[in-house]
Each structure stands twice: as structure tokens, then as C-alpha cells.
């Protein structure tokens, strides 16, 4: 039987953090921490907050996730994705707490024809990927009691601050309703993953207590363009949608640096929900208010959730597509 935990969830209002919070099912207590409660870039304040909470489990979903900007702003990317992770791991060690951290498929160069597994040597092509790989290594250094989950193409109901306070589904629905011309890339293929599918699997792996590195995704693969096309089919909208071709007034969705070479993670822990997009659209359409905003959870003083409409900059790396019926499968 799993002993009770006191879990501190960092980035609780981001896409992944939101779904980790609402699926938490370990025995014990969950403490939700947003950026207002804890700023990982302030190592001393982070240590002070965590020592006050005395957690036995610390789950970190905070990340610098602006892939293109990291090429010029790599110091900021490394500060949050690597240095802050190392400092957090040190605090966890001092408290005897287990650390759960999240990384990305960007640690690979994407040149393999097959999906990557945990034993494959990383080779990031971008500053963002380098910063995430450095964070992985710091989290796991010295045989620490830590879990690192590499994820790919996250999307969810909660909005991602790193992508302008929204996610791909919400952006497509909004642009279609505004009557905008939409141009989306089709040459990026990845394994997209719904955060509400992944979150329960995270808790299940953590409960087993087998520390180490894991790849965790949904099943299947698709392009951003095919994802957008399916969103509009399911929602009954018929916007001006085409494969990317720059033109006046068009909204262009393009991949970040290195996206064209991204490799698919080996889906050893894949969740594999064929109807993930249908469930996501149902949730988003059900939560949209008259202004197109999505209600978000807010942490009250008693630790429970209540609705709010605000963003949190601690979102994990963010939007695109899920496995959808009628799309490309591998």
C-alpha cells in the first residue's frame, strides 16, 4: 500500500499542472502552487516555501517553453529549465522528498526513422532542447529519487502562458469565428498528447516508486494542419484553411526551430485514446464563455479549487494536435 504523501505541485494553473491537480489520486494531500506562490527563479524563496510545506513529493511543471525565443534568450531558458531544476532537486534532497520533473522530445535530433526510447542518446538541435536536457540531467544526477517524464506535443483545456495564454484548439476556434484566413504547416509530424490522458498515468507511475526516466505520450501521429482540419469538422466551422502559404491578413501557425526534425517518442507508456480530441473539444466548448475565455481553477486558502479566468506562466510546453480519427497514423 502506498504511504500517504504531501505533494507540492508547482505550476498548478498551467496546462499540465491543471490536469495533474484534478486527477491527483494518491493517498495524502496535494498543495497547489502557482507562480504567485512560488517563483523557481528565486532559489532562496523556493527553498523557504518548500521547507515550510515539508512535502514528501514535489512535482514540477514549470518551464521556459518559448522554443524560438530561446535561441536568442538562451540564458533565460537555461535559468528556468536547468539551473532552477538543479536547485529544486537540491532542496528535495535536503527534505528527503521525491522530485517529478517533465522534459521534452526536443532533446532528440529527430533523424531516426523509428520512435525514440529512453536508452537512445539525446542530441538536441535547439537551445530550448539543450536547456531541457540539462534540466533532466540535474534532476537525475547522483541517483536522486526523481522521475523525469519526456512528453511530446502537449495540449489541454487550461491555457498555456508560453503560447500567448491559449492553446491550439482555442486559437483555431477563435480565428475561425473571427473570419480570419488560417494557414497551418503540414510538414511537422509529432506524437501529440492530451494532458488529461497523461496526468493519471503520471500518478500511476509515481505510485510504483520506480525512479528514473520515462517517455509518456498518447498514441498516433498527425500534423498541425490535419489537426486544425479535424477541429473544424468536429465543431461545424468552415473557415478559410490552407497549408501554409504566406499572404496578407493570414494567420500562420508554424513550428518552432527544429520541429521539422522532431522524432516521435517511443510510446512505452502511451495512453492511446482515439477520441481524445472529441473529449477535448467537448470540454473547451463547454467551458467557453461569451468572450471566448476559459474558466481556470484558482487555489483558495483552504487548498480547494474555484473558477477563475487568469493565466499562469508556469505552463509546461504546450499546444498542438492529438490522435484523431481520419488522420495519419504510424
pLDDT in tens, 223-239: 888 888 888 998 899 99
Task: Give the pLDDT confidence score for residue 194 in this predicted structure.
Answer: 87
Task: Give the pLDDT confidence score for residue 56 in this predicted structure.
Answer: 98
Answering whether pTM is above 0.85, one says no
Rounded Cα–Cα distance for residues 129 and 198 (Å): 21
Rounded Cα–Cα distance for residues 178 and 180 (Å): 6
Q: Which residues of the chain fall short of a pLDDT of 70? A: 1-2, 159-167, 245-330
Q: How many residues does the chain have?
A: 330
Task: Give the pLDDT confidence score for residue 130 in this predicted structure.
Answer: 96
Report DSSP letters for 204-264, one per residue. Answer: HHHHHT--EEEE---S--B-HHHHHHHHHHHHT---EEEES---TTEEEE-PPTTGGGPPP
Task: Give the pLDDT confidence score for residue 311 in this predicted structure.
Answer: 30
Rounded Cα–Cα distance for residues 229 and 222 (Å): 11
Task: Give the pLDDT confidence score for residue 310 in this predicted structure.
Answer: 27
Among residues 200, 135, 156, the alpha carbon closest in space to that of 320 is found at: 156
Told to judge if 214 belongs to the known catalytic residues of this protein, a careful annotator would answer no
| CA distance to 54, 86, 87, 93, 145, per residue, from 43 (Å) | 16, 10, 6, 14, 20
Task: Give the pLDDT confidence score for residue 281 in this predicted structure.
Answer: 54
Residue from 128, 194, 214, 225 carrying the catalytic annotation: 128
Task: Give the pLDDT confidence score for residue 242 in this predicted structure.
Answer: 92
Task: Give the pLDDT confidence score for residue 270 in this predicted structure.
Answer: 52
DSSP state of 326: T
215 DSSP β-pair partners? 150
Amino acid at each position: 500500500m502506498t504511504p500517504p504523501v504531501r505533494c507540492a505541485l508547482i505550476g498548478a494553473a498551467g496546462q499540465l499542472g491543471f490536469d495533474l491537480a484534478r486527477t491527483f489520486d494518491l493517498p495524502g494531500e496535494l498543495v497547489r502552487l502557482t507562480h504567485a506562490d512560488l517563483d523557481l527563479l528565486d532559489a532562496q524563496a523556493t527553498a523557504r516555501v518548500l521547507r515550510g510545506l515539508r512535502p514528501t513529493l514535489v512535482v514540477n511543471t514549470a518551464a521556459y517553453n518559448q522554443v524560438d525565443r530561446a535561441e536568442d534568450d538562451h540564458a533565460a531558458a537555461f535559468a528556468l529549465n536547468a539551473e532552477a531544476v538543479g536547485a529544486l532537486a537540491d532542496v528535495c534532497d535536503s527534505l528527503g522528498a521525491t522530485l517529478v520533473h517533465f522534459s521534452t522530445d526536443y532533446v532528440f535530433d529527430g533523424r531516426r526513422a523509428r520512435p525514440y526510447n529512453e536508452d537512445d542518446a539525446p542530441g538536441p538541435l535547439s537551445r530550448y532542447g539543450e536547456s531541457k536536457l540539462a534540466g533532466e540531467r540535474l534532476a537525475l544526477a547522483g541517483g536522486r529519487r526523481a522521475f523525469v517524464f519526456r512528453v511530446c506535443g502537449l495540449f489541454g483545456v487550461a491555457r498555456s502562458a508560453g503560447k500567448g495564454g491559449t492553446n491550439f484548439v482555442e486559437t483555431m476556434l477563435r480565428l475561425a469565428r473571427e473570419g480570419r484566413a488560417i494557414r497551418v504547416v503540414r510538414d511537422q509530424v509529432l506524437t501529440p498528447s492530451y494532458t488529461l490522458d497523461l496526468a493519471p498515468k503520471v500518478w500511476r507511475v509515481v505510485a510504483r516508486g520506480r525512479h528514473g526516466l520515462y517517455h509518456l505520450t498518447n498514441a498516433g501521429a498527425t500534423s498541425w494542419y490535419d489537426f486544425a482540419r479535424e477541429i473544424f469538422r468536429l465543431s461545424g466551422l468552415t473557415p478559410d484553411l490552407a497549408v501554409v502559404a504566406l499572404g496578407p491578413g493570414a494567420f500562420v501557425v508554424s513550428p518552432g526551430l527544429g520541429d521539422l526534425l522532431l522524432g516521435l517518442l517511443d510510446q512505452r507508456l502511451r495512453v492511446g485514446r482515439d477520441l481524445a480530441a472529441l473529449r477535448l473539444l467537448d470540454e473547451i466548448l463547454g467551458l467557453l464563455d461569451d468572450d471566448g475565455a476559459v474558466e481556470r481553477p484558482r487555489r483558495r486558502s483552504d487548498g480547494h479549487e474555484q473558477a477563475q479566468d487568469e493565466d499562469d506562466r508556469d505552463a509546461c510546453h504546450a499546444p498542438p494536435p492529438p490522435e484523431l480519427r481520419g488522420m495519419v497514423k504510424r
